[in-house]
């Protein structure tokens, strides 16, 4: 008996207001690329995208950058009170350029273990 596994969309896919390919381009893009992509997205969809990105820790900064291009009324319509906060935060500080996503490297310090042996 063979069973076929149907691919069910993940929660992220169901909630994301843009195609996953666009989301990937935003995630990998620098500030200029993000601005170019966002400029072609309708205002209400852009506000929903800002709220979606802002709600995820790894895309929080991109969400703020997108929100900075949105009207407060659109953000509030898309996310209610969170939209108001998003509007305020996106304008409270300059938007940093999105940095390319590279895996973080951890520094290892052995200084603590040397001090423990000396004592």
Q: Does the residue 4 lie in any domain?
A: no
Number of domains, the chain: 1
* Separation of alpha carbons 38 and 50, rounded Å: 10
Full domain range(s) for residue 37: 11-99
pLDDT in tens, the chain (119 residues): 444 444 433 335 568 899 999 999 999 999 899 999 999 999 999 999 999 999 998 899 999 999 999 999 999 999 999 999 999 999 996 655 555 555 556 666 666 655 555 65
Within 13 Å of residue 21, how many CA atoms lie on the same side as its CB? 0
Q: Does the residue 1 lie in any domain?
A: no
Q: Does the residue 111 lie in any domain?
A: no
Q: Does the residue 53 lie in any domain?
A: yes
């Amino acid at each position: 008996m063979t069973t076929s596994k149907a691919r069910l969309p993940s929660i992220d896919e169901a909630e994301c207001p843009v195609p996953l390919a666009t989301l990937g381009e935003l995630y990998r893009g620098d500030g200029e690329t993000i601005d170019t992509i966002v400029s072609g997205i309708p205002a209400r969809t852009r506000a929903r995208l800002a709220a979606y990105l802002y709600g995820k820790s790894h895309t929080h900064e991109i969400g703020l950058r997108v929100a900075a291009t949105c009207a407060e009324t659109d953000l509030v319509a898309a996310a209610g009170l969170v939209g108001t906060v998003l509007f305020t935060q996106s304008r409270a500080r300059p938007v940093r350029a999105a940095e390319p996503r590279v895996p973080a490297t951890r520094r290892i310090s052995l200084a603590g273990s040397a001090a423990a042996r000396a004592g």
